[in-house]
Amino acid sequence: MRELLAHLFPPTTTAPAERRLVDAVLARFLADRHRFSDILECSLSADESGLDLARFSYAFPDLRHNRGAIERNILAWTTALGPAPAAAARRVLQAARSPIVAQLLIGQAHSPTPRTKLYLQFSDDAGPAALALAHALLGTDRPTDSDTLPLHLLGLDIGPTGLASAKLYFAAPIRTYPGLPIPIDQPLWIHRLRDPDDPGFIHASELDLACTPAAWSALAAAPALAPHHAARTAFTALATAFKLRPRRLSLGLGDTRKLNLYYVLDEPEIY
């Protein structure tokens, strides 16, 4: 994992603050990996601006039993990024104390500009309270056409000046989608909020779905992924150097040329 993160965040192109965050997450992983699997997930992202490989997220499955230590970790990590990211993180951590929040995640994406990500994953029985919490945290009551669906995840992008944008992930009641050759598993509609008055927020911009290695083999050749040759080639090269397991895939809808592939290092330790 150390070698993979060094490959994704090379010292020559990684800012010192970003490098410190990567190192801190890796140090936490060295202990947590003995209790939890698939908690440190990397990803690649492709859109009209190009390809970004320097991305990861880190999950805290034990939020409800180890909240104090987790909050201290996240505050320390975000404080090192600057006062505005730290202030945004405090707001998110306060919201995460709600009993409907089941899990907290932190992440980092390098391009087009470095930004830290915080995610609130809601309980399956959260109901309308999850969307109400998201609206309160974002400072908007702008509706989406998925508001009647369960809100599974709230993703928040934090930049140098604080909260920059958000993504809402709603459970999607579908099993197939045009251009995808296999039944889809655990689908989510993603709605992006770029500012509190974003008119595009009402419609889903991406479809997110579970993606096993077998599913990736089928999906990589699907018509929906034809525009993403660079992303498919990059992942093939990365998977040659490291043993990787795809976990989820996000695809842009309509004319949105967007792909995110999430994966984990699949190297079991032998004790």
Concatenated DSSP letters of 85-105: HHHHHHHHHHHTTSTTEEEEE
Q: Does some domain include residue 132? A: yes
Distance CA 85, CA 149 (A): 30
Q: Does some domain include residue 188? A: yes
Distance CA 213, CA 117 (A): 26
Domain that holds residue 226: 2-265
- Say how many domains are in the chain: 1
Q: Which residues of 118-137 are buried (b: 16+ CB within 10 A; e: fewer)?
A: bbbbbbeebeeebbebbeeb
Helix, strand, coil % over all residues of the chain, rounded to 5: 35, 30, 35
Q: Is 258 helix (H, G, I), strand (E, B) or coil?
A: coil
Q: Does some domain include residue 270? A: no
The better pLDDT of the pair 42, 163 is held by 42
Q: pTM, whole model, 2 decimals? A: 0.95
**Token pair listed for 20:** 């410190």
**pLDDT tens-digit map of 126-183:** 999 999 999 999 999 999 999 999 999 999 999 888 999 999 999 999 999 998 999 9
Q: Does some domain include residue 271? A: no
**Token pair listed for 38:** 């698939």
Q: Does some domain include residue 215? A: yes
Going by pLDDT thresholds of 50, 70 and 90, the confidence category of residue 271 is low
Q: Does some domain include residue 104? A: yes
**pLDDT tens-digit map of 66-109:** 999 999 999 999 998 889 999 999 999 999 999 999 999 999 99
Q: Does some domain include residue 49? A: yes
Q: Does some domain include residue 248? A: yes
**Cα 71 to Cα 5, 130, 155, distances in angstroms:** 23, 20, 17
Distance CA 109, CA 49 (A): 14
**Start-end of H helices in the chain:** 2-8, 16-32, 67-79, 83-95, 128-138, 213-220, 229-241
